[in-house]
């Protein structure tokens, strides 16, 4: 099954800013709709680290991400299918997006060998030899039952020579065509991934080829891999302008609160990143006034919440002094409470941006976002 999709786009545009490319919409999936722009908490191993699905519902998460590569290795997609699919397995009844595993193969490339057929790699768990083709990635994701599946792609490192980038980008396109051909009519959505490295013309070429194949949505891959921030934003803006505006646009693996604001400004709809959960476990809290490193001694007797402007469970009930005590004592509760706060901050930031876009005041929101941070520097 290749060529243009014969079904309507799952994306509905609600509002577009008159001042920039920011926009509000919604995406329809098998497990309900979610509003855009959206941040997806990362649940790599069928769990968002340190929190429960009930916590995620309470803090307002509408969709989460899980990872094909890791679930392929452990516990295995056949087991998850036998137990009723990923939603039932992890007790989450809202939408799930599964990454194809391309980035994990890229990050473990010393254990992998990329060929035309797919990715051969050694398990980082036990060293066993495994293989994942574009068709396999679709089969695994169909078995998992995710709402949005991603094509297997070849992530390009930074820096990379033009010839290397062109070769990897063309391979991603060929894999995308095979992924579409392998897709069955399950009702699951399949997104194509635009590669092309830091070369705008190669991004344009990749996009043209993906549009000929036809997908339910389009993702920008190969960014936030070590390139300068300005370059990432330039490539994002260049590519987002060319993507079909009647489909969801997903920027993979990004990023900081500033990255989210700047990318929404440039027309991006969907984001994921491990930063809020990973930083929570490392004692860094995101707040409306900037970052708080909770282990710092200045918070040892601070009775205020992590963020006085935050209404999350953590900020309603606990002080900075207590959070510092937990973190310095390496108590498990520290990771739980910090993660609830950080995810609430990211989810709320997206809600605030959606409201600003709906009110056609996004540029004022963006100005205020930076002004509050500048005050405390």
Task: Give me the tens of pLDDT residue by residue for the chain, a chain 377 residues long.
Answer: 345 677 899 999 999 999 999 999 999 999 999 999 999 999 999 999 999 999 999 999 999 999 999 999 999 999 999 999 999 999 999 999 999 988 877 777 777 889 999 999 888 889 899 899 999 999 999 999 999 999 999 988 999 999 999 999 999 999 999 999 999 999 999 999 999 999 999 999 999 999 999 999 999 999 999 999 999 999 999 999 999 999 999 999 999 999 999 999 999 999 999 999 999 999 999 999 999 999 999 999 999 999 999 999 999 999 999 999 999 999 999 999 999 999 999 999 999 999 999 999 999 999 999 999 876 54
Which pLDDT belongs to residue 111?
A: 74
Which pLDDT belongs to residue 73?
A: 94
| Residue 285: CB atoms within 10 Å | 27
- Domains parsed from the chain with CATH numbers: 11-273 (3.20.20.105), 280-375 (no CATH)
Query: Are 275 and 260 in contact, with CB atoms under 8 Å apart?
Result: no
Which pLDDT belongs to residue 1?
A: 38
Q: Which residues contact 324 (CB under 8 A, 6 or more apart)?
A: 294, 295, 296, 299, 300, 302
Query: Which residues on adjacent β-strands are paired with residue 114?
Result: 119
Confirm whether 272 is a catalytic residue.
yes
Handedness of CA 327, 319, 55, 357 (dihedral sign): negative
In whole angstroms, what is the distance from residue 248 CA to residue 270 CA? Answer: 8
Confirm whether 99 is a catalytic residue.
yes
Which pLDDT belongs to residue 377?
A: 41
In whole angstroms, what is the distance from residue 372 CA to residue 377 CA? Answer: 9
Residue tagged active-site, from 147, 272, 360, 374: 272
For 58, left (φ over 0), alpha (ψ -120 to 50), or beta? alpha
Handedness of CA 278, 281, 282, 287 (dihedral sign): positive
Which pLDDT belongs to residue 7?
A: 86
Question: Is the whole-model pTM more than 0.85?
Answer: yes
Which pLDDT belongs to residue 4?
A: 64
In this predicted model, what pLDDT tens digit does every residue of 302-312 receive, in sequence order? 999 999 999 99
**Helix, strand or coil, per DSSP, at residue 271:** strand
How many residues are there in the chain?
Answer: 377
What backbone torsions phi and psi does residue 247 show, to the nearest 5 degrees?
A: -130, 155
In this predicted model, what pLDDT tens digit does every residue of 176-221 receive, in sequence order? 999 999 999 999 999 999 999 999 999 999 999 999 999 999 999 9
């Amino acid at each position: 099954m290749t060529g243009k999709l014969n079904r309507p786009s799952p994306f509905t545009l609600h509002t577009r800013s008159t001042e920039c490319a920011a926009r509000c919409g919604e995406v329809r999936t098998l497990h309900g709709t979610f509003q855009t722009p959206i941040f997806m908490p990362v649940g790599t191993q069928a769990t968002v680290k340190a929190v429960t699905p009930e916590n995620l519902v309470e803090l307002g998460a509408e969709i989460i991400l899980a990872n094909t590569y890791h679930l392929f290795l452990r516990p295995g997609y056949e087991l998850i299918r036998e137990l009723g699919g990923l939603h039932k397995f992890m007790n989450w009844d809202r939408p799930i997006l599964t990454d194809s595993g391309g980035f994990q193969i890229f990050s473990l490339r010393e254990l992998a060998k990329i060929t035309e057929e797919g990715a051969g790699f050694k398990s980082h768990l036990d060293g066993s030899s495994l293989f994942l083709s574009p068709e396999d990635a679709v089969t695994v994701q169909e078995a998992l039952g995710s709402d949005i599946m991603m094509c297997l792609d070849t992530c390009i490192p930074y820096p990379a020579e033009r010839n290397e980038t062109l070769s990897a980008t063309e391979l991603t396109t060929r894999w995308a065509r095979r992924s579409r051909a392998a897709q069955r009519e399950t009702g699951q959505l399949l997104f194509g991934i635009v590669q092309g490295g830091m070369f705008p013309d190669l991004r344009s070429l990749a996009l043209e080829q993906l549009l000929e194949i036809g997908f339910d949505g389009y993702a920008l891959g190969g960014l936030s891999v070590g390139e300068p921030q300005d370059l990432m934003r330039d490539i994002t803006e260049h590519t987002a302008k060319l993507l079909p505006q009647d489909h969801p646009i997903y920027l993979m693996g990004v990023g900081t609160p500033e990255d989210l604001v700047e990318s929404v400004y440039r027309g991006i709809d969907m984001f994921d990143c491990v930063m809020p959960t990973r930083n929570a476990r490392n004692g860094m809290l995101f707040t409306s006034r900037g970052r708080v490193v909770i282990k710092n001694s200045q918070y040892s007797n601070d009775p205020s919440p992590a963020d006085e402007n935050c209404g999350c469970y953590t900020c309603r009930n606990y002080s900075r002094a207590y959070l510092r005590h937990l973190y310095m004592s390496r108590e498990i509760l520290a990771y739980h409470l910090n993660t609830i706060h950080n995810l609430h901050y990211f989810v709320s930031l997206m809600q605030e941006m959606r409201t600003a876009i709906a009110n056609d005041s996004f540029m004022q929101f963006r100005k205020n976002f930076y002004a509050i941070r500048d005050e405390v520097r």
